[in-house]
Amino acid sequence: MYDFVNSSLGWFHLATALLAMLAGAFVLATHKGTKRHKQIGYIYIASMILVCASAMGIYRLTGSFGIFHITAIVGFLTLAGGMIPMFMKNVERKYKAVHVWFMYYSVLGLYAAFASELSVRIPDRPFYSMVGIATGTIFGIGTIFILKKEKIWTKYFG
């Protein structure tokens, strides 16, 4: 059985990831645009930046730059894609829809990374197959949910 966490950086990465998972779930599950949404959203942003940055220093699982480092870069880009529209002055409604899409996929990517990380620790299982199954399952279920919510977003954001 693999050691779950092997370093201070690993513990930091785990703690910030758990904080991001909680904040992300809260933001997605509650009413959008409220003061609380924004406050918890900023906690999500800060913790995700720390998660993605700390992921760049962890090499124990593969021994080199690998799939989790690439997903950390994608995670940061997804986060940026969700936040850039909100930092624009006088945000148009259509750009708020872009924010919602990117932020849902940011949180979805975080949960897929978590599922992948857990699944590759199952002994005697093929690494990339487990990553693919975990990621595919999370993104498949999440995309179905997002596509159902898209109808609501389209009406609201015009």
52-61, 108-117, 137-146: which range is least confident on average? 52-61
13-17, 28-32, 134-138, 150-154: which range is least confident on average? 150-154
CA distance 155 to 26: 23
Token duo for residue 73: 């870069």
Contact call for residues 28 and 104 (beta carbons, < 8 A): yes
Express each pLDDT in 67-83 by its tens digit: 778 889 999 999 999 99
What number of other Cβ atoms are within 10 A of residue 141's Cβ? Answer: 13
Domain ranges of the chain: 8-157
- What DSSP line would sit under 18-54, residue for residue? HHHHHHHHHHHHS-TTSHHHHHHHHHHHHHHHHHHHH
The size of the chain, in residues, is: 158
Rounded to the nearest integer, the mean pLDDT of the chain is 84
Task: Give CA separation, 65 vs 56, 62, 71, in Å.
Answer: 8, 8, 11
Q: Is the pLDDT of residue 158 over 70?
A: no
